[in-house]
Each structure stands twice: as C-alpha cells, then as structure tokens.
Amino acid sequence: MIAVIVVTVFLSMIIGAYVVNPLYNAQNAPPPKTGALTMIITSDNWYNNTSGYQAAFFVVENGHIESSSMITVAAHTLLEITIINYDKATDPLLVNNDANVTGTVGDVVYEYNNSLVNASGAGVISPRGEFALTSVPASKISHTFTTNTGLNIPIYPSSTEVAYAYFNTTGLYTWACMCDCGPVAMDHSGWMFGDIQVVSQ
Ligand SMILES: [Cu+2]
C-alpha cells in the first residue's frame, strides 16, 4: 500500500513537472546561450634575429593570455568576439573582398575607436562610442580575423572591435589573417593563423 502511494506521488510529481513547470512550456523558449572570444593583436613580438618583430594574435582565456594556434568556441552560441588591436600599422589585403564584414550578426562589426573612425572619413562621433561598420576601407586595414566557415572581420589599426557571431557546425576549421602582414607571422600557427575548433555545448 505504501509502495503504491509512493509510486503514485512520484508519478504525479513527474507529470506535474511537465504540466505545471514553465520550463517545460514550449512557449517559454530558453534564452540563447552566450559566450565570449576575446583576442589581442600585438605587433612587437620578437621572432629571431633574421625576422625581427612580427605581429600576432593572442586569445584571452579566463584572464590569461594564450596562444591563438587553437581557438575553441561553442556551437549554437551567440559569441561576442572582441578584438583589441595594438598594432598601429596597416597592411595590404590579399583578397579585396576581405574589406567587407561577413558572417557576423547583421554582417557588421562595432568599432569602438572614434578617432580612427573619424580619420577614415565617417566624420561623426557616436555618443555611445561605437559605430556599426559593414566594411573597413582597404587602405585602413591592419589585419583581418577570417575563418573558413565564412566569418570575416577586417580590423582597423589601434582599435577595439566587437562583433557577434554563431558557429553552428561542430568540427575543426581554420582562421587566418588575410593581410600581407609579415612572412613569418603569416607562416606560423599562433601568429597570423591557426585552428578553430567548434565544440558542442
Ligand atoms: Cu595580419
């Protein structure tokens, strides 16, 4: 008898959870999962006596600076990508189309450096300190963050940029800067290219 009561109570709890608990209500869709990918580009990284200083991407992970040779991101996640570029130099693009922002939410990148935006001819200071850009003038590009999943973010010199993007297919992909920004940096994983691993959440 007690066992019957226990089983009945248990079953009603399970059924009740589905009927009453709003978490099981299809109309209450869960908010999108969010994540962050923060990267720093510096220009004065000593390589050797022959090649001297080279530019490189680094990843900030839990407050630590790490190599960009293997970047891990979660699939099906609204990823806030922040790129802080300390490099003052511009570099020629390898492919002209890479001046356009692609693969981000709204195909825009938010530029947080007003002086550079003004210098490029935009001419207006945003009261929020940011501009949504769909491209960067080819002559004003320092590096790009480009993946073979279709993401392309051109980066101004001495700038901070933020973009939002989703990676929706798990697997191993490649990222690279698509500028001619130094033969050693362009040839070495963790400097101007590397892997990007999309893992399930
Ligand atoms: Cu580069």
Beta-bridge partner residues of 34 = 78
Residue range 136-186, pLDDT digits in tens: 999 999 999 999 999 999 999 999 999 999 999 999 999 999 999 999 999
Q: How far are the Cα atoms of 29, 102, 157, 179, 189 from residue 86, in angstroms, in the given order?
A: 40, 23, 7, 16, 20
pLDDT (0 to 100) of residue 14: 45
**Domain parsing of the chain, residue ranges:** 1-30, 34-199
With contact defined as beta carbons under 8 Å apart, do 57 and 191 qualify? yes
> Higher-confidence residue: 166 or 117?
166
Q: What is the pTM assigned to this prediction?
A: 0.79
The CATH code of domain 34-199 reads: 2.60.40.420
Which of 81-90, 127-136, 186-195 is the least confident region? 127-136
pLDDT at 113 over 90: no
Check whether 42 has a pLDDT greater than 90: yes
Give the separation between CA 86 and CA 6, rounded to whole angstroms.
65
Instruction: State the distance from the centre of ligand 1 to the C-alpha of 142, rounded, in angstroms.
Output: 7
Residues that place a CB less than 5 A from ion ligand 1: 143, 177, 179, 181, 192
When pLDDT is cut at 50, 70 and 90, the band that residue 131 belongs to is confident
**Are residues 182 and 58 in contact, defined by beta-carbon separation less than 8 angstroms?**
no
Tokens for 117?
């935006």
Average pLDDT, the chain: 85
Q: How many CA atoms lie within 13 A of 98 on its CB side?
A: 26
d(CA 161, CA 12): 52
Handedness of CA 110, 79, 147, 85 (dihedral sign): positive
Amino acid at site 200: S
- Give 82 Cα–ligand 1 centroid separation in angstroms: 16
How far does residue 25's CA lie from ligand 1's centre (Å)? 48
Does the pLDDT value for residue 198 go beyond 60?
yes
Distance 201 CA to ligand 1 centre (A): 30
Beta-carbon neighbour count of residue 41 at 10 Å? 24
Residue 65 vs residue 4, higher pLDDT: 65
| 192 C-alpha to ligand 1 centroid (Å) | 5
